[in-house]
Structure 1
Amino acid sequence: MNLTKFILAAIAAFVLLLTCRTAGAQQTSKVYRVGALFNGKPDVAFETLRKELARLGYVEGTNVVFEARFAEGQLDRLPGFAAELVNKGVDVIATYGGPATIAARKASTTIPIVAALVADPVAIGVAATLERPGGNVTGITNNDPELASRQLGILKALFPKLARVAILSDSDIPGADASGLAPIERANVTAARAVGIAPQVLKVHGPTPDFDTAFNAMVAERAEVLLVLEVPAPFRNRKRIAELAAAHRIPTMYWGGASDAGGLMAYGTTFTDTYPRMPIYVDRILKGAKPADVPFEVISRREFVINLKTARELGLTIPAEVLKHADRVID
């Protein structure tokens, strides 16, 4: 190779190297804006999102910025917060709870949304199917179509003569039909009637729910047990509800993962299982995946916890046949 060819080859190699470095610099200089919208207040869910995204290579202040909004139980603030996130130009919105997801979906049909803590994404209209969401919303759900029937089956096994059940819900959850019942409420009413139990649906709402009125109504209707639904107001106040139920001598059944409430029993999929999955979905979206084509992940692991301390306080004896099916017993 003569000198001229050598120089030209060297120049070409240098230009190629410079181009690669420039492209790499442009790629790494991208700063992602991750929006997060919560029904409640800052807690382990948001910390998990930040920590797990950091583990995946998203360094806060370097290549990711978080825009988090917390309704703290005032669900009427969610639409305004969702609009703020859209105006901030976020690349994705992580939502926690049905109302937060609905608010984000109404604020934008183009910005990708990754949802968690949504009982039934199809029923509330944010996904066509769990397998092919079809819009701008995907995520993780602990939706369990058999939950209501399984919970009521356990209650019937424990209280064979059970005739009346109170069902505590939240009036602010989306998807109510002409009867005023949301999908999760309809499922529980149907399951109760299927085993010969008369259901009484009671709804509270807001950051300061009126539980006294709800419990007075339970007593008036002679409710024998209380089924607490995994919806915003009961979710935030689960320990207070357990205290009031104990004071009124009413046994309680909670959703899976709510054994910390102090109720008699908790059964079902565990909402905390969705937290570490959220950052994985956010990462997929930031890398180019389209929510319309990303199936919802369904958490399927169920947990059954019995609180014997609460049983003793209520003067109840849990049959050995029921105890043997518990994954964990609190004594």
Structure 2
Amino acid sequence: MLRGWKKLVGVSIISVMALAGCGSNNASTNSDSGSAGGGESDGKTYTVGVSQFVEHPSLDAAFEGFKKGLEDNGLKEGDNVEYDVQNAQADMNNTNTIAKNLVGDKVDLIFANATPSAQAALNATQDIPIVFTSVTDPVGAKLVESFDKPGPNITGTTDTHPDAIPNTIKFIADEFDAKTVGMIYNAGEQNSVAQVDIVKKAMEGTGLKAVEKSVSTSAEVKQAAEALVGKADVIYIITDNTVVSALESVISVAYDNDIPMFAGELDSVERGAFAAYGFDYADIGYEAGVMAAQILKGEKTADQLEVQHPQNLKLVINKEAAKEMGIEIKPEWEDKAEIK
């Protein structure tokens, strides 16, 4: 879904920009920069360091939304904003290297896209402002004290709507003759562990039971999915970065074995999952971009901006995926879901 991702790089590349001295104290004057939508620029050029945990459509869309949020508030790429974009390729160690590189380069702000990237950025600096998105449990991840009390240099948007998981479990319990729900996740991702706990809590009293398979890398995902055949009546893939980056492996197993497969976000439905209660990741990225603009322009500090939940939760069903999984779409679903 991401357009123009040519600048996305791994940690083996030190920087995507030939920009020296990129802190705000060395910001260059840009007499041609002006306002765009939400406000006027202050004549400086800012460098935003981007730490993204892995490349997949949801995180990519969040970054696109982030850039749009900045642009609509007077900070446009190539005009008064430059991006130093680095990708950890789903490697926890790489997130630390990226964070140290960005701090060493004295970027003006770090955009941390996913929980591991945000944790590494916060460990690397208490001075450079950090705005995160695609973080499931910012309190549990020890990024902020609470949603209304973010850290001195960190705030952002979460990708957890409080009703998403409970609504998904209720739909499975009410609409499918299922007893077991297969889940694949990386136990090393704190956001995933938090979601699994929420899923188990939501299952209480429904008669559903979780069947868990843990993976460490995306290369292990297909084997984990195959191990669920005969053990899981339904598969539910939460917003785990490691698994979502290899989602097609799970989809192929679900298709081959007629197992209904639910997802934690809408991009996975577009890729071939049956259904999800979700929202557009571009939206939470956009809100993070608005926050970043306020911080860069000196209008707010991170601790003055509360962490935001996503809005506009909706159920989306992929009718082609339903056919592949042997699911008959019930007429009453049309009243509660977008069927595409």
After TM superposition, the score normalised by the length of structure 1 is: 0.82
Q: Say if 1:162 and 1:197, in contact at 8 Å, map to a contact too.
A: yes
Q: Distance in 1 between matches of 2:66 and 2:144?
A: 23
1:44, CA displacement in angstroms? 4.2
In the alignment, which residue of structure 2 is the partner of 1:228? 237
Amino-acid identity (%): 24
1:132, CA displacement in angstroms? 1.8
Mean Cα displacement is larger for which, 311-320 or 247-256? 311-320
In the alignment, which residue of structure 2 is the partner of 1:174? 190
Residue aligned with 1:77, SS = helix
In the alignment, which residue of structure 1 is the partner of 2:201? 190
1:201, CA displacement in angstroms? 1.8
C-alpha spacing 1:248/1:135, structure 2 compared with 1 (3 Å): farther
Paired residue type of 1:183: A
Q: Distance in 2 between matches of 1:60 and 1:268?
A: 29
Paired residue type of 1:31: T
RMSD, matched Cα: 2.4
Paired residue type of 1:198: K
1:130, CA displacement in angstroms? 0.8
1:158, CA displacement in angstroms? 1.4
Give ranges in structure 1 of 5+ residues lacking alignment.
1-22, 176-180
1:192, CA displacement in angstroms? 2.1
Aligned with 1:291 (options 289, 297, 302): 302
Q: Distance in 2 between matches of 1:107 and 1:87?
A: 10
Post-superposition, which runs of at least 4 consecutive aligned residues in structure 1 deviate over 6 A?
none
Matched length: 298
Deviations along 1:223-245, whole A, 9 cap, x unmatched?
A: 10000011111222223321221
Aligned with 1:144 (options 155, 161, 178): 161
In the alignment, which residue of structure 1 is the partner of 2:106? 89
Name the structure with the higher helix share: 1
Mean Cα displacement is larger for which, 124-133 or 39-48? 39-48
Structure with larger Rg: 1
1:49, CA displacement in angstroms? 3.6
Q: Distance in 1 between matches of 2:331 and 2:118?
A: 42
In the alignment, which residue of structure 2 is the partner of 1:105? 122
In the alignment, which residue of structure 1 is the partner of 2:320? 309
1:211, CA displacement in angstroms? 2.3
Residue aligned with 1:69, SS = strand
C-alpha spacing 1:196/1:126, structure 2 compared with 1 (3 Å): same
C-alpha spacing 1:308/1:55, structure 2 compared with 1 (3 Å): closer
C-alpha spacing 1:290/1:114, structure 2 compared with 1 (3 Å): same
Deviations along 1:178-237, whole A, 9 cap, x unmatched?
A: xxx82111111222234121111222233x3312321232125x2100000111112222
Aligned with 2:55 (options 35, 41, 62): 41
Q: Distance in 2 between matches of 1:105 and 1:280?
A: 20
In the alignment, which residue of structure 2 is the partner of 1:239? 248
In the alignment, which residue of structure 1 is the partner of 2:288? 278
Deviations along 1:29-56, whole A, 9 cap, x unmatched?
A: 5332211110123944444444543443
Q: Does 1:211 align with 2:221?
A: yes
Aligned with 1:269 (options 267, 273, 279): 279
Mean Cα displacement is larger for which, 133-142 or 245-254? 133-142
Q: Distance in 1 between matches of 2:283 and 2:78?
A: 27
Deviations along 1:75-128, whole A, 9 cap, x unmatched?
A: 321100000001111121111101111111111122111010001211211111
After TM superposition, the score normalised by the length of structure 2 is: 0.80
Q: Say if 1:270 and 1:303, in contact at 8 Å, map to a contact too.
A: no
Q: Does 1:31 align with 2:50?
A: no
Paired residue type of 2:262: M
In the alignment, which residue of structure 2 is the partner of 1:132? 149
In the alignment, which residue of structure 2 is the partner of 1:67? 84
Q: Distance in 2 between matches of 1:94 and 1:278?
A: 8
Give ranges in structure 2 of 5+ residues lacking alignment.
1-28, 32-40
Q: Say if 2:47 and 2:109, in contact at 8 Å, map to a contact too.
A: yes
Q: Distance in 1 between matches of 2:51 and 2:69?
A: 17
